[in-house]
Amino acid sequence: MTGLVRQPTSAGTRAAPVPAGRPLRRAREGRYALALLTPALVVVFGIILYPLGRTLVLSFLDADSVVEAAYGFVGVRNYADLVTDPAFWQTVGRTAVFTVFSTGIELVVGVLLAQFLNQRIPGQWLFRTAVIVVWAVPTIVNANMWRWILNPNYGALNGLLLRLGLIDHYQDWIGGPGRALYVVAVVDAWKTIPLVAILLLAGMQTIPADIYEAAAIDGAGALRRFRHMTLPLLKPVIAVVIVLRTIEAFKVFDIIYIMTRGGPASGTTTIAFYAYLQAFSNQRFGLGSAIAFLTALFILALSLVYLRALRQTGSGR
């Protein structure tokens, strides 16, 4: 039969005729799909794969000058220096504290704010718009604004608390290494709480209203419905929020750079800022690259753990 091609079959089965033009059509579709994906592949390679590979190569070199010809291969010496450096582990600890504290605030306040925005109240659209505006403020603007608010000499926060009688003199909120890290974490959380609230609000609006009405008829109060119905049904969304915010908080850099430059006394130096200091301030590009590559590996491992937990949560196991 002309125009048909028989596919190879095993013994005992009859070959099914296939139109002769189908393989050519599939090949054209494959080339078309590849053409559509090429721009994205170029972007991924140029923004992610090449910088990551370049960072890995530099981490094995003695790259302590701007002259690339002077780089020498040192193997894993940069990694060994990090493992035996107490300052590196202190930085890792500060980063973990910052991540847990910031993400915890965002999650708790975000859930409460989303619950408020989910209520039928007059001017609901106005509150939702205000939340979006806060999130839309650029990080650099947010950091500079809070640096002025927290200024120990003329800051608005000190003036407000002084008028309310909560303090008797102006405080230097980011002047001490023990307190500065938590203050900066609060500032970072303030910027991101609206995003968390919007994500959780979207999850709340997918919950059918019938189950709340049935629970109310059975005598369940608002707090009980929130605890035993809203929160369990929001677990998949909460898991996504934790994944995204943990990764972002762990690699925080911009707000640290604007507000404290890692100080005072390295009290706010996170892992990303420590890599910046080593690479660009101390011109130890090999060591800075090792820090950056270890950070990327940790974030990858953390993402895989979270994604596995997310799949288990979504499947109800």
pLDDT tens for 105-123 read 999 999 999 988 888 878 7
The answer on pLDDT for 129 being more than 60 is: yes
**Mean pLDDT value across the chain:** 84
Residues 167-209: pLDDT tens digits? 888 889 998 878 999 999 999 999 999 999 999 998 888 888 8
Query: Residue range 225-249: average pLDDT?
Result: 86
d(CA 63, CA 84): 19
Share of the chain above pLDDT 90, in %: 32
pLDDT score for 181: 93
Q: Is the dihedral of CA 160, 164, 167, 170 positive or negative?
A: positive
Q: Band of the pLDDT at 154, cuts 50, 70, 90? A: confident
- Residue 67 confidence (pLDDT) above 60: yes
Which tops the pLDDT comparison, 228 or 309?
Answer: 228
- Give the dihedral sign, CA 305/309/311/312: positive
As a whole number of angstroms, the distance between CA 107 and CA 88 comes to 28
Q: What is the pLDDT of residue 315?
A: 60
Residue in the structure block whose two tokens are 């991101």? 192
> How far is Cα 152 from Cα 198, in angstroms, rounded to an integer?
34
In this model, does residue 259 exceed pLDDT 70?
yes
CATH superfamily for 86-314 is MetI-like (1.10.3720.10)
Q: What is the mean pLDDT of residues 45-63?
A: 87
Question: Does the pLDDT of residue 312 top 80, yes or no?
Answer: no
Judged on CB neighbours under 10 Å (0-12, 13-18, 19+), 215 is middle
Strand ranges (E), the chain: 4-6, 17-19
Check: pTM over 0.75? Answer yes or no. Answer: yes
| Distance, CA of 97 to CA of 91 (rounded, Å) | 10
Q: 3-state DSSP: the chain helix, strand, coil percent, rounded to 5?
A: 70, 5, 25
Whether residue 184 contacts residue 252, with contact meaning beta carbons closer than 8 Å, is answered with no
CA distance 260 to 174: 8
The predicted structure's pLDDT at residue 1: 45
Determine which of 141-145, 214-218, 235-239 has the lowest per-residue pLDDT on average.
214-218
Note whether 147 and 254 are within 8 A (CB): no
Question: At residue 124, does pLDDT exceed 80?
Answer: no
Across the range 255-267, mean pLDDT stands at 91
Q: Among 93-97, 157-161, 212-216, where is mean pLDDT lowest?
A: 212-216
Per-residue confidence band for 9, with pLDDT thresholds at 50, 70 and 90: low
β 4-6/17-19 pair status: antiparallel
